[in-house]
Amino acid sequence: MNHRHLLLGAMLGTTVLAASAPSFAAIEVNIAPPAPRHEVVPAARPGYEWAPGYWNWNGHRYVWVDGHFVRERAGYHWSAPEWIEHQGRYEFHEGRWDRGDNDRHDNDRRDNDHHDNDRHESSSPR
């Protein structure tokens, strides 16, 4: 009897873990996606961020998914879906929320570029 309860508990625990783990189905295609469509972005809505449209693969061809508003998440910024080319194949990366403020990262990147330029200038012969 105890073995049954132990087995049942193990099965339920595994099911809960599997259900809570994120599932990622990698989509790879040999055909490049079309150029993004021009979208008219509506006026900003307080508490929302615009998620631009993108080309999705339906198993046979690319289909356009219209842009839409997504509710903001404090401390995160939206990274839009994208197709990444690698050795002639195109892999789809879904849109997601990344930690941090997008503007702050842009400023950090600009600051680092500025410091890199200073470093190169100071190391060049005068």
Per-10-residue mean pLDDT of the chain, 126 residues long, equals 49 40 68 94 93 95 96 94 94 94 48 40 38
Distance CA 37, CA 5 (A): 56
What residues are paired with 56 via a beta bridge? 63
Contacts with 28 (C-beta within 8 Å, 6 or more apart), sequence order: 89, 90, 91, 92
Residues 6+ apart with CB under 8 A from 79: 95, 96, 97, 98
pLDDT of residue 111: 41
Residue 26 has a pLDDT of 75
Distances (CA, A) of 81 to 52, 53, 86: 8, 8, 16
User: Rounded CA gap, 121 and 126, in Å?
Assistant: 9
Is residue 63 a contact partner of residue 56, using CB atoms and an 8 Å limit? yes
Domain assignments of the chain as residue spans, ordered by start: 26-123
Indicate the Cα dihedral angle 80, 86, 92, 97, nearest 10°.
-40
Distances (CA, A) of 79 to 4, 45, 52, 98: 46, 18, 10, 7
What does the pLDDT read at residue 97? 94
Question: pLDDT at position 27, please?
Answer: 85
Residues 76 and 98 sit within 8 Å (Cβ to Cβ)? yes
